Structure 1
Amino acid sequence: MASIELPYEVLVYLFKYLLHADRKSASETCRSWYLAANDHCFLKEKVLVFYKADFNGEITPIPAIEDSIIPYENFVFSEVEISSKMNTFWDKMGENIKTLTIRKCDIHEKTMNYILQKCTNLEKLSIQSCKELFMSGCLFEKAEDWLIDSFKNLKSINLSENKYLTDALFYRIVKAAPELNDLCLSSCNLQFHVGFIRKFYPNTNNIFENPSESVLTLYFVMQFIASRAKKIRSLVFSNTLFDGAALESLAQIEDLKLDSLELQSCDQLTNTGIMALTKYQQTLRELNIALCTRVTDLSLRYICNNLVNLEYLNIRRCRAVTNLGLSELHKLNKLKRLNIAQCELISEEGIEYGICQKVNLILEELDLNSLNLHQNVAIMISEKLPNLRYLDLSYCFNAVTDMSIQKIFKNQVHLRTLKLTYCDRVSDAGFSGIGKLEINIDSDGPATSNYSENHPTNRIHLGSRAEEEIIRDARRKRDVMNICKKMTFYPLPSYTGYSLGRLKSLRELNLSSCNRLTDVSLTYAFMFKELRILDLSRCQQITVDGIIHLVINCPSIEYLNLTDCYNLKDDAVVEIVQGLKRLQNLILRGCNHITDKSLEAIMDHCKVLRVLDIQGCRCVSVELACNIAVPSIHTVLMSKPGVVYFKDGVKDRVPIPPTLPSLFRKLRY
């Protein structure tokens, strides 16, 4: 039977319904599918990332990009050396580049000048943490004509984390971009003291004629924003000394109509500044004031009363915010994303009156990380916010139980991201909806559970409470497993609720330290064709039996974290690398039972693996790990037993000491 070749336009239309990973796999089928999967409508979101790549060796990724028939538009260079040896790359690709990010790179002024001369159609430019580039202060000193030509379409500039940035350097860059809309100066050494103005700008009539080559001052940046007020729409001043007075001055700039403002970790920010912002910038759609410790309920009241167009609000770790301020949130009728994580004074009352006063079909993302909530709150959220796409209940120990999680599975069917880190009260009965768990699924009231853990016995238990808990978990696992096996032969409707597998749209799932999760849930509840990111770290009861079903039912996993899963051995790793063809990040740190056999399986089967973390794996040969033959891999993390884990070159102390979870359990009763 002859094959039928679909028209190019039809292929492009069909590929729009696929996720990026699926589209990438489809592009490897044939040339026509490759071209359709890389159509211009998809290239806008495709980014080529060069992380710690070697551009000076004999084998580099540059020739493959230069010879490609696809005109890539977005490039990120992170922690690499960019020298004149790459000039031919910029000659060929520069004209097509729309977005360019250079982060923590070893690059000199001459090379940067050459790059920007070739990139004549830039729309977004990000130069982050490149201290050597700005250290001399001579960058773009004699580049006015060609820089204006290169920046004629530039709309976004990110100069964050550059401590040697000065007023002169800043002005050379931004004055060449007449269409600039977005500006980011996060973590820059912005100077606020009035003494700098008196010293460097005694004559303030026209400060642009002689900008300071010594410091970066807020006064100069404000003057520039005022000169471009009709164009500027987004500003980022996070991790600076931005205070209430500065925000008040910014808000009152004539003709300035901001859409987005980020002031995260600005400890000096006060209610006075927030009041001025909400009075003069009522066009704001996005506001991030996370980790601003001086923000109180009064600020939240101003925000909710005046910023009626707000779609995104982040007040994470604003510890002075209480239920009184949160109850005002119901006034924001357009709010789509909300982050109130780590606000210690928020409880059930504030969430009920502020977020769940009535059914809300607008809110799509909600972060409640580390709040002291009861399970009734999780149930209420599931009923009042049915259109959530993102939900983070990590460290909400009392809120996430078998009962509340069942209500979430019933109502939150559109979820794409679910995070339940350290929610260790949830068991297989809750994840699978199977077992001695009877949920009132047809009633409108709160879910109830008839799960019984009492087993008649005449024996006197002489062990500790921890040992008793282990025995109880084992019995629970056995009971749920027995019922699951029976259900394969005949239905048991009175014993079934809602499975995690009901959330068909899940793409990211974090169950780190949910230690009651066992192979039962992996076998009967994990059925996600689109799941890409899965974190099962410190789920110490899972074994190869559950992994076998996991890789079959979740074939699209790209990131898998199995840190400190002590019961996993080589056979589990073999199943993972054989079954997960798209696996790019595999975290096995602390899995003490894996040996060189796992590394051999990785070399045989992993074709696209990029990051492998085997820190603390005592039985793995260092020599074999250092010489692992996987062409795509660029990072292998190793350490001796007992050494602190490292992630991206930074000490990672994520594993919480074993005493803390037990302490938390005592405190919540």
Structure 2
Amino acid sequence: MGYVPTDYDKYFEFNLVDFSNFDINIEPPTPPPLPPNNHQNNENQSNVNQNNNEEINANNNESDVINVEENLSNLNQDSSENTENTKIELNLNECEEEREKSAEIEINFNFDIVSYDLKDTKMNEKVNKEISNESTMENQKIDEKDMKIVSHSVNEENEVKIEQKQTNTKTLDFKDLKNLSIDEDGIDFTKYMQSETLTVEENFENEEILLLMDENSNQEIKTLEISQNNVIKDENYSDFDIIPMELIVHIFKFLNPSDLKCAALVSRRFLSACTYKKLNSKFMLHFVDSFYKQFAVSVAHFSDTFRPFPAISLSTGNFDYSSQSFWWDYGLNVEEIYFRNGILRKQEFEDIIRWTPKLKILKIESNSIFTTWKIRNDYSERILKFDNCYHISLSRNGVINRSIFDYVVFKAPNLRELDLSYCLARMNPRDKMAILDHLIFYLKGYGESIKLLNLAHTPTDDFFLQQLSEVNKLKLKSLSLTFNGCVTNSKFGLIPLLRKQDEIEDLNLSESPAVEEIILMEICTNLKNLKRLYLKKCSHVTDYSLVPVSKCENLVTLDISSCDLVTDEGIYNSLMVGTPKKNLKQIYFALLSNITEAMFVRLGTKFHEQITHLDLGGSTNLADDALQTIFNHFTKIRFLNLDSCCKISDYGITGKFQNQVYFSIKNLQGLRTFRMQNCYKLTDFSLIDAFQFIELRELFMARTHFSREGIEAMVKNCPAIEILDLGEVNGVDDDCVEIIVKNLQRLHTLKLNGNEKISAKIFDHIYKHCEVIKYLYLRNCPNLVTDKLNDQLYLMRSLRKVYLE
């Protein structure tokens, strides 16, 4: 049915080509800050300003305005003391000295009033005296030369309010707003596109008012305030704006991409914080094929988006690669391009590289892309360079050859990471050996800077590894390979390579049947900086093989899943004795059938509050008591896999047994991914009593015996779920699906495979309540009639893929 993107920890994908109702609100780019105001009035505009002000004054005949001389010191000394509602004219240029003494300045843009809080004692005495002597002059009018009628009043709190109707104005074209000096927290000017021009009013130093005028009707559309720090304020201004931007960005660094997306909808200031470069790198713009072609959107529409997405993913064959306007406007922001599918001509690829000079990560992981390429080695090919690119991935390419390898890899002089995983398995032995020999040639000549080499699921033998060990300048930090050779000779093959590459921190030997005791001895003896060791499905790993792991004091991750020969003794000798594993955080012990419950209890007491990822899937000996120990000691767990742990019951999850309360799964408040498929002993009581996780994002509980009551309690207490698997759960029906989509507003993937009670009504519920749904899995649902399914799916414009067979 097509490729389905998995949930990445690094990226949150926006799929933007499928439908017109996108996952994000695309707003125009924030205009830059307004330049400092020059307070010297232009002589050529003085007459125009005077005429404009006279027209404004004519409309204010109903109000009692008192006109006075240019200076407050010339006011009548015989006026009365009643000054609460007195209004007089004040020349702002003459009061510059008093205005500089003002401690607080506010602009009320609704009434065009500038308020000065006169906290200076001498100024208060002066103003009080002068204003009190002028209280009887209520009907006098005096025209000023530099500035027309301006009214001001003094209240009981000695606050002078100056009302200014119009000052120096200039008309700007809408396009010029991009050149205005406005801070990050900008205004969405597309709301005022009715008029082709805008009028900007210039007032005092450090304060400006942006007045939007409709040139056709000459009516004011909007008046916006720009405060002292050049932050535009409108009626949506909130208390969030007083929080320093640095503090907001620092807090947002701890949020996952989904939370950042929601936080950006809170206020304009939060939205500006989310566009910070380091935060924005967590998001990926993902173009996919349109389910309905009439909803497809041209690529050029995204060239003017205000958010500069640094990562772009392409999973469509209909992408308009030749859209020069898109790449010219958007290419300067792109740092990562991921080609997943489609046909890409070589000339288009070269144009994209030229338009993206800041490209750092290039991933071409599609067999169909290279099928039409012909490498001619002409001048245009030779001058093409990826100067800033440090990561290139050609994974899953079965048609790669030497010319394509040279064309892509040799163009990156600063390459540090090379991924060739899964790309040689389908080749014939002759072509595969030719590519591996050419890789050795490249590493000998240009591999000095290579720090990561990924050859996972690319079978290698002793001859290739011996050649790799002879590359003198190669100093790897991360190595992934599948080793199928032999270890009878310690001076040939993998062992010399491990002795030479003593700086490796990440080593992945998963699915390598040749890994035995001597290999692990060399690993743990020579790799002093080893942090992550992956030995998944290494069938020859035994208890004795794991003993050297006790020397790895910097170990952070250990994966020995599906190593069937490992027992309690091997885990005890590798983790419980020897050098303390103070940095160990991730343990993957899935499908270890020989591990007893006592070992799980020991793990809990040994690594108290250290572990964040724990995979015990398929552990048939894991029971309630061991689970209680885990919930007591591993309170910082973020990922927990209990799939097919058939012995656990409600007591193990809730900690309640015979009126006694022990340790509940509620202790794991930071849990984000939880797998509990095939746990058929669990009932609704576990969901009602224990499932209260604010941060839970992924929940897999297929083939369980939960009913509507338990599921309803769970979705109400876990509102952040994005991926939910309820396949083959008998209690799920149409009403249950309605409850789910009403409460889970972030849900984008819903799996309901094998549910016999659901019908086509679920599409109505999803359409009404779930606006972000992307993937639906509805295989083997016999009561789901698909006759009118096309019309129902047409309404759900956020939907990407539906799996029915």
Q: Which TM-score tier does this pair reach, normalised by the shorter chain?
A: 0.7 to 0.9
Q: Which residue of 2 aligns with 1:633?
A: 799
Change (3 A) 1:609 1:191: closer
Could you tell me how far apart the structure 1 residues matched to 2:384 and 2:711 are? 55
User: Is residue 2:479 matched to residue 1:313?
Assistant: no
The change in CA–CA distance for 1:426 and 1:396 in structure 2 (over 3 A counts) is same
Question: In the TM superposition, what is the alpha-carbon distance from 1:194 to its structure 2 partner?
Answer: 11
In structure 2, the residue matched to 1:622 is: 786
| 1:176 equivalent in alignment to 2:397 | no
User: Of Structure 1 and Structure 2, which has the larger fraction of its residues in strand?
Assistant: 2
Q: Does 1:253 align with 2:253?
A: no
CA distance in 2, matches of 1:33, 1:138: 48
**Residues 80 and 525 of structure 1: is their aligned pair in 2 closer, same or farther, counting only changes over 3 Å?**
farther
> 1:371 is matched with which residue?
592
Q: Residues 368-517 of structure 1 correspond to what in structure 2 (within 5 A)?
A: 368-372=589-593, 373-386=595-608, 387-398=610-621, 400-436=622-658, 492=659, 495-517=660-682
Q: Which structure 2 residue ranges, 5 or more long, are not aligned? A: 1-234
**CA deviations over 1:341-387 (Å, ceiling 9, x no partner):** 00111000000111122763211111111112111111111121231
Shift of 1:52: 3.4
Q: Secondary structure at 1:377's aligned position in 2?
A: helix
TM-aligned CA deviation for residue 244 of structure 1? 1.9
The one-letter code of the counterpart of 2:502 is Q
**Residue identity in the other structure for 1:242:** T
Deviations 1:582-626, CA, capped at 9 Å, x for gaps: 001000111111122222111100111110111112222213433
Does the CA contact (< 8 Å) of 1:134 and 1:165 recur in 2? no
Q: Contact 1:191–1:216 at 8 Å: present in 2 too?
A: no
Within the alignment, does 1:67 sit opposite 2:304 as a pair?
Answer: yes
TM-score, normalised to structure 2, is 0.66
Cα distance in structure 2, aligned partners of 1:121 and 1:256: 26
Indicate the structure (1 or 2) with the bigger Cα radius of gyration.
Answer: 2
Taking the aligned partners of 2:673 and 2:321, their CA distance within structure 1 comes to 41
Asked whether the 8 Å contact 2:375–2:403 carries over to 1, the reply is: no
Report how far residue 134 of structure 1 moved: 4.2
Identity of aligned residues (%): 27
Q: CA deviation at 1:24?
A: 0.8
Distance 2:263 2:377 in 1: 44
How far, CA to CA, are the matches of 1:256 and 1:85 in structure 2?
Answer: 39
Distance 2:433 2:656 in 1: 64
Give the 3 Å change call, closer, same or farther, for CA 297–597 of structure 1 in structure 2: same
Following the alignment from structure 1 to structure 2, what is the Cα–Cα distance between the partners of residues 630 and 191? 39
- Which residue of structure 1 lines up, in the alignment, with residue 756 of structure 2? 592
For the structure 1 residues 615 and 55, does the alpha-carbon distance in structure 2 shift closer, same or farther, using more than 3 Å as the test? Answer: closer
Aligned length: 560
Letter in 1 for 2:757: H
Aligned to 2:737: 573
Task: State the Cα distance separating 1:246 from its structure 2 match.
Answer: 1.1
What SS does the corresponding residue of 1:230 show, helix, strand or coil? helix
- Residue type of the partner of 1:179? N
Cα–Cα, structure 1 residues 499 and 98, in superposed 2: closer, same or farther, change >3 Å? same
Which of 442, 463, 473 does residue 224 from structure 1 map onto? 442
Give the CA RMSD over aligned residues. Answer: 2.4
Preserved contact between residue 609 and residue 632 of structure 1 (Cα < 8 Å): yes
Matches within 5 A, 1:552-571: 552-571=716-735
CA apart distance, 1:551: 1.1
Say which of 118, 125, 128 aligns to 2:365: 128
Q: TM-score normalised to the size of structure 1? A: 0.80
State how far apart, in whole Å, the 1-side matches of 2:289 and 2:487 are.
41
CA distance in 2, matches of 1:573, 1:194: 51
Supply the distance in 2 between the matched residues of 1:352 and 1:224 (Cα, whole angstroms): 43
Which position in structure 1 is the counterpart of 2:86? Answer: none
Name the CA distance, whole Å, in 2 between partners of 1:631 and 1:9: 37
Instruction: State the alpha-carbon separation in 1 of the partners of residues 709 and 376 from structure 2.
Output: 59
Any idea what the Cα deviations from partners look like across 1:320-348, whole Å, max 9, x if unmatched? 11000112111111110111000111000
Letter in 2 for 1:371: L
Partner of 1:93: 330
Pick one of 328, 345, 359 that aligns with 2:548. Answer: 328
| Greater displacement, 359-368 / 530-539 | 359-368
Paired with 1:497 and 1:78, the residues of 2 have a C-alpha distance of 49
Equivalent residue in structure 2 for 1:279, among 485, 496, 499 = 499
Within 5 Å, give how 1:148-167 maps onto structure 2: 148=385, 151-167=386-402
Q: 1:585 to 1:314 in 2, by over 3 A?
A: same
Aligned to 2:715: 551
Contact 2:774/2:801 (<8 A) preserved: yes
Answer whether contact 1:75 1:97 (CA < 8 A) is retained: yes
- The whole-number CA distance in structure 1 between the counterparts of 2:600 and 2:398 is 44
- Which residue does 1:267 correspond to in 2? 484
2:278 aligned residue? 41
Q: Is the 8 A contact 1:259 1:285 kept in 2?
A: yes
In structure 1, distance between residues paired with 2:799 and 2:429: 51
SS in 1 for 2:422: coil
2:336 is aligned with 1:103: no
Larger RCO, structure (CA 8 Å, separation 6 or more): 2
- 1:9 maps to which of 236, 241, 246: 246
Partner of 1:360: 581
Q: Does the 8 Å contact 1:339/1:368 carry over to 2?
A: yes
CA change 1:61–1:593 in 2 (3 A) is farther
CA 1:192–1:332 in structure 2 vs 1: closer, same or farther (change >3 Å)? farther
Q: Is 2:557 the counterpart of 1:337? A: yes
Cα distance change of structure 1 residues 532 and 270 upon mapping to structure 2, 3 Å threshold: farther
Show CA shifts across 1:166-208 (max 9, x none): 2122112222211011111223338999988xxxxxxxxxxxx
Matches of 1:284 and 1:52 in 2, distance apart? 40
**1:182 and 1:232 in contact (8 A); partners too:** yes
Q: Which runs of 5 or more structure 1 residues have no equivalent in the other structure?
A: 197-213, 437-491, 640-669
Q: Deviations over 1:91-134 (max 9, x none)?
A: 22112111111013222222222222211111111111233424
Q: Which amino acid aligns with 1:105?
A: G
Cα offset, 1:84, TM superposition: 4.3
> Quick one: distance in 2 between partners of 1:160 and 1:285?
22
Select between 54-63 and 572-581 the one with higher mean Cα deviation.
Answer: 54-63
SS of structure 2 residue aligned to 1:131: coil
CA apart distance, 1:64? 5.1
Give the SS at the match of 1:361. Answer: coil
Instruction: Return the offset for 1:155.
Output: 0.6
Residues 195, 397 of structure 1: alpha-carbon distance in 2 compared, 3 angstrom cutoff: closer
Give yes or no for contact 2:346–2:373 (8 Å, CA) kept in 1: no
Q: Name which of structure 1's ranges 65-74 and 405-414 shifts more when overlaid on structure 2.
A: 65-74
Against the structure 1 CA distance between its residues 52 and 335, is the aligned structure 2 distance closer, same or farther, given a 3 Å change threshold? farther
